Amino acid sequence: KILALAEVYQIKGAPHGPSDVSPINLSASLHLGLATSNFAIQEYMGYDPRVSEVFQSSFRFEDGYLHPGEEPGLGVHVDEAAAARFPYKQAYLPIARELDGSMKDW
């Protein structure tokens, strides 16, 4: 819906693709962009090699382009046995706002 509204004003979209979101999220963003007329660029930062032990994806980065692959759907498969080898560890995510909504340094 956001990209549809942006299209009315000739604004292009650039989905966020940091390495702290899963390949499932990245693949969904890539597919959305490829299906949208006002798609400009897909941010891609790559992943820690351990991520490929859990997620097998058909998309590939080659010659400066992110290709969606040929598999149906998002083209990402999750190996749950491999995921079990990496138990969840709560990360510290700094907050840049005070309780009253004002900004602060991390």
Pick from 23, 17, 13: which is nearest to 60 by CA? 23
Cβ partners under 8 Å of residue 105, min gap 6: 96
Encode pLDDT of 70-97 as tens digits: 999 999 999 999 999 999 888 777 788 8
Across 2-19, average pLDDT: 91
In this model, does residue 18 exceed pLDDT 90? no
C-alpha pair distances (Å), 2 with each of 14, 15, 48, 57, 93: 11, 11, 30, 27, 26
Instruction: Work out the number of other CB atoms within 10 angstroms of the CB of residue 80.
Output: 7
Per-residue pLDDT, 45:
87
Mean pLDDT across the chain:
91
- Lowest-pLDDT range of 55-59, 83-87, 92-96, 98-102: 92-96
